């Protein structure tokens, strides 16, 4: 992952230094289990606990062995005495690699969960700030009806409640120790080694495996990351639309010395939202790669390994970066409620058409007749740039059904926000995920 899109916290967790620290932690957990099983005494284990490694030495040995785990075990062995014969005892390489990867992901996932919570807090704040701020709702990109601007953020908050729940489940499914040996049948050690080591590492143990953990776990995890990235893109696309010159309801914060274009000094572009849109495409691409990793030959081949060296660090780093960057972007977003009101009025009041239609039906008019009349008057209002309210007042056929007082009520903004409190209670007053 290039440094532009990786925060220092994630860079440290995915570093080779940390990977080998996790290798050593797994190895020592297995050694502890063997000590508990009576293979060697506590004094020997205490000597094993003093094992160290030098990353550069591992690199040097790997140049010869062409095998990173063997390079690691040999580098560690140089820091040990006779007890080194018990280091990596009964294990195959993937016992170490998959279990260590689970440890790394456990730390990564904790950071991502913190990212999610911070992001959701920004959404919640804006939802309540603009809870009763009227704006135009758009379907198919066309003005539809009045809605609450705060409902946009409430919707995204509810989306993230579901996504967080899914992420937690997916994260649990990859927080697993696997120490069942070369083909998964414990022939080279004992099931108790995995059980004891898993408890010591604070992870669950796999119930059954081949030489590897099964990669549907990781595909599900990558799907969860891709869903979050896609949700962020969903929000970003809406912000980009609202920031368009013709709409102008929001704008990304633009600092005093920031530049929008090398050619056009006036530009203030929604670059953060566009960045989120682009990065989400990358994360979804990594998800596809993770699905390709599910089918391995027999008890294991190595085709998934090179893929995961790239996609796990990159995808988690990108989602962490996206959540942090876009939380700041939304927190600093500039809002223009006066423009929201102005936009409500640019369609001559035709956005109140459904309310008028329902009123006419309630007053006794046949639905088809009422629909045709309101459609005709709405199109006339748009074509002639005449207020629908004025056309209604002068249309003779509506006099028995529509009084002046009715018209004023039907064209009120507040009428469209009467159930906002109910929706907010559903979203913020409970833990409902649906």
Q: List active site positions.
A: 140, 261
Task: Report the alpha-carbon distance of residue 51 to residue 45 in Å, rounded.
Answer: 10
**Contact yes or no for 243/273 (Cβ under 8 A):** yes
Residue carrying the six token digits 């009520």: 409
Cα dist from 391 to 4, 115, 374, 375, 383, whole Å: 57, 52, 10, 12, 12
User: 147 forms bridges with which residues in the sheet?
Assistant: 135
Q: What is the DSSP letter of 327?
A: H
Phi and psi at 15, nearest 5°, equal: -70, 155
Give the phi and the psi of residue 432 in degrees, each rounded to 5. -60, 130
Which of these, 133, 131, 119, 122, lies nearest to 331 by C-alpha position? Answer: 122
Residue 15, token pair as written in the block: 């570093």
DSSP string over 366-404: -HHHHHHHHHHHHHHHHHHT--HHHHHHH-GGGTTT--H
For residues 231 and 33, give the distance between their C-alpha atoms in angstroms, rounded to a whole number.
Answer: 43
- Report whether 397 contacts 373 (CB < 8 A): yes
Neighbours of 205 (CB within 10 A): 19
């Amino acid at each position: 992952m290039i440094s532009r899109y990786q925060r220092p916290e994630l860079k440290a967790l995915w570093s080779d230094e940390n990977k080998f620290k996790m290798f050593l932690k797994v190895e020592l957990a297995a050694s502890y289990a063997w000590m508990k099983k009576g293979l060697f005494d506590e004094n020997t284990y205490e000597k094993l606990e003093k094992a160290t490694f030098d990353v550069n030495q591992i690199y040097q040995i790997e140049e010869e062995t062409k095998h990173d785990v063997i390079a690691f075990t040999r580098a560690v062995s140089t820091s040990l005495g006779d007890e080194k014969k018990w280091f990596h005892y009964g294990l195959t390489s993937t016992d170490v690699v998959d279990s260590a990867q689970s440890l790394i992901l456990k730390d990564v996932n904790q950071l991502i969960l913190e990212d999610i919570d911070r992001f959701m807090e920004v959404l919640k704040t804006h939802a309540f700030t603009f809870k009763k701020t009227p704006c135009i709702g758009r379907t198919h990109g066309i003005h539809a009806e009045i809605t609450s601007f705060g409902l946009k953020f409430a919707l995204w908050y509810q989306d993230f409640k579901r996504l967080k729940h899914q992420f937690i489940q997916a994260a649990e499914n990859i927080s697993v120790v696997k120490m069942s040996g070369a083909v998964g049948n414990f022939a080279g050690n004992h099931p108790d080694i995995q059980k004891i080591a898993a408890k010591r590492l604070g992870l669950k143990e796999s119930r059954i495996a081949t030489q590897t953990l099964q990669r549907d776990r990781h595909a599900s995890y990558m799907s969860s990351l891709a869903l979050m990235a896609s949700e962020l893109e969903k929000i970003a696309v809406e912000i980009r639309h609202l920031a368009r010159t013709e709409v102008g309801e929001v704008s990304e914060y633009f600092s005093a010395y920031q530049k929008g274009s090398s050619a056009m000094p006036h530009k203030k572009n929604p670059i953060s939202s566009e960045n989120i849109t682009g990065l989400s495409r990358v994360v979804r691409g990594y998800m596809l790669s993770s699905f390709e990793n599910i089918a391995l030959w027999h008890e294991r081949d190595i085709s998934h390994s090179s893929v995961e060296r790239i996609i796990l660090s990159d995808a988690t780093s990108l989602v962490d970066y996206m959540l942090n960057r876009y939380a700041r972007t939304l927190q600093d977003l500039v809002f223009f409620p006066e423009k929201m009101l102005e936009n409500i009025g640019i369609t001559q009041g035709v956005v109140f058409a459904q309310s008028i239609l329902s009123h006419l039906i309630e007053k006794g008019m046949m639905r088809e007749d009422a629909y045709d009349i309101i459609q005709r008057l709405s199109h006339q209002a748009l074509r002639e740039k005449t207020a629908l309210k004025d056309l209604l007042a002068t249309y003779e056929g509506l006099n028995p059904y529509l009084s002046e007082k009715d018209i004023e009520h039907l064209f009120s903004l507040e009428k469209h926000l009467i159930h906002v409190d109910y929706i907010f209670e559903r979203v913020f007053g409970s833990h409902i995920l649906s």
